[in-house]
Amino acid sequence: MSVFEQLGSLALATRLKLLSETLAKDVASVYKELDIAFEPRWFTLFWTLKDKQTLTITELANELRQTHTAVVQVTNLLEKKGLLLSSKDKNDERRRQVSLSPKGLRLFEQVEPVLNAIEQANSDLLNQHAPDLLQNLNAMELYLDQRSMHDRILDNLGLIHQGVVIKNFTPAYKKYFFNLNREWIEEHFGKLESEDLKALQHPEEEILNKGGMIFFALYNNQVVGTAAIQAEGGCTFGLNMFAVTKGLRGKGIGKALFEHALQYARAKKAITLIIYTSPLLTESLNFYIRHGFYAAPMSQAEQNTYQRPTIKMQLKLT
Q: What is the pLDDT of residues 10-49, one digit of tens each?
A: 899 999 999 999 999 999 999 999 999 999 999 999 999 9
Residue 91: is its pLDDT beyond 80?
no
Averaged pLDDT of the chain: 90
Task: Measure the CA–CA gap between 300 and 313, rounded to whole angstroms.
Answer: 15
Distance from C-alpha of 318 to C-alpha of 312, rounded to nearest angstrom: 19
Three-class DSSP category at 129 = helix
Q: What is the pTM for the complete model shown?
A: 0.57
3-131 — its CATH code? Answer: 1.10.10.10
**CA 23 – CA 122 distance, rounded (Å):** 10
What pLDDT, on the 0 to 100 scale, is given for residue 160? 62
**pLDDT of 233-264, one tens digit each?**
889 999 999 999 988 887 788 888 998 999 89
d(CA 179, CA 242): 12
pLDDT at residue 252 in the model: 83
Are residues 60 and 75 in contact, defined by beta-carbon separation less than 8 angstroms?
A: yes
Q: Is 287 exposed, middle or buried (0-12, 13-18, 19+ CB in 10 A)?
A: middle
Task: Say if CB 261 and CB 239 are below 8 A apart.
Answer: yes
Strand-pair partners of 8: none
DSSP letter at 171 equals: G
Domain 162-316 fold is: Aminopeptidase (3.40.630)
pLDDT band at 128 (very low <50, low <70, confident <90, very high): very high
**Whole-angstrom distance, CA of residue 202 vs CA of residue 207:** 8
Q: Which amino acid is at 132?
A: D
Which one, of 143, 125, 136, lies nearest residue 259 by Cα?
143
Q: What is the pLDDT of residues 256-298, one digit of tens each?
A: 899 899 989 988 889 999 999 888 888 888 889 988 899 999 8
Q: Where are the domains of the chain?
A: 3-131, 162-316
